[in-house]
């Protein structure tokens, strides 16, 4: 449970090897065979999306089959996070952090690509029918045969992720994060946000 003296870095939690290695291999094989597009950033002031001219990573959405397969791991990891960090629970003892999560997006970092530092104020997951505020970010790591492409928070707090790990942290401006430049091989990851 978080407390008044909880440090920000203590709210970053890695559920290690929660996705089995064989499932990670199947996911990488599947997504690598499909079409990738450049990542885009949302500009709230212009109500538009754009890609940076250099070093932009590639993305694609999950198929319904992969969404279903990954959903159980997201829920399991989210429950672990809630157990450790929920400040209060409902009357029945269930925590109140995560009630739903959005469609998974896959990220691919090839040599020379990065994720610029940002924080997760995600607008695009809500369409007017579905409403909420993202409270918990999930990053799933599907391979470890790459170099570079390290997840970092603030300026130099690097989180090393293994194959099958899911890292979770609050989706707000206290947690600026990015991915360093990939230098060898390709890193495959997935992201989702809970509310």
Domain of residue 170, CATH code = 2.60.120.620
pLDDT on residue 91: 57
Tell me whether residue 115 is in a domain: yes
pLDDT on residue 87: 64
pLDDT at 9 exceeding the cut of 60: yes
Parent domain of 164: 14-41+55-194
Tell me whether residue 5 is in a domain: no
Tell me whether residue 9 is in a domain: no
Tell me whether residue 79 is in a domain: yes
Tell me whether residue 96 is in a domain: yes
Tell me whether residue 50 is in a domain: no
Confidence of residue 84 (pLDDT cuts 50, 70, 90): confident
pLDDT on residue 94: 60
E strands present in the chain:
13-15, 37-38, 41-43, 48-50, 58-61, 105-109, 115-118, 136-141, 147-148, 151-153, 157-159, 166-170, 177-179, 182-184, 187-194
Tell me whether residue 6 is in a domain: no
Strand partners, 159: 151
| Structural domain total, the chain | 1
| Residue 11 · residue 162 · CB < 8 Å | no
> What 3-state DSSP class applies to 10?
helix
CA distances to 10, 33, 111, 131, 185 from 163, in Å: 22, 20, 19, 33, 14
Digit-coded pLDDT (tens) for 120-129: 877 667 666 7
pLDDT at 96 exceeding the cut of 70: no
pLDDT at 95 exceeding the cut of 60: no
Kindly report the number of other CB atoms within 10 A of residue 68's CB atom: 10
């Amino acid at each position: 449970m978080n407390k008044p003296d909880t440090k920000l870095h203590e709210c970053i939690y890695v559920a290690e090897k929660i996705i089995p290695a064989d499932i990670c291999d199947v996911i990488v094989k599947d997504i690598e065979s499909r079409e990738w597009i450049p990542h885009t950033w949302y500009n709230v002031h212009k109500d538009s999306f754009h890609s940076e001219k250099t070093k932009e990573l590639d993305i694609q959405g999950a198929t319904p089959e992969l969404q279903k397969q990954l959903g159980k791991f997201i829920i399991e990891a989210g429950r672990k996070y809630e157990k450790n960090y929920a400040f209060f629970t409902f009357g029945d003892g269930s925590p109140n952090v995560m009630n739903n999560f959005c469609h998974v997006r896959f990220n691919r970092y090839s040599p020379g690509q990065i994720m610029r530092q940002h924080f997760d104020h995600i607008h695009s997951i809500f369409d007017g029918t579905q409403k909420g505020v993202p409270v918990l970010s999930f990053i799933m790591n599907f391979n470890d045969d790459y170099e570079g492409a390290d997840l970092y928070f603030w300026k130099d707090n690097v989180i090393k992720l293994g194959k099958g790990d899911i890292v979770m942290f609050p989706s707000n401006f206290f947690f600026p994060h990015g991915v360093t430049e990939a230098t060898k091989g390709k890193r495959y990851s997935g992201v989702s946000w809970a509310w």
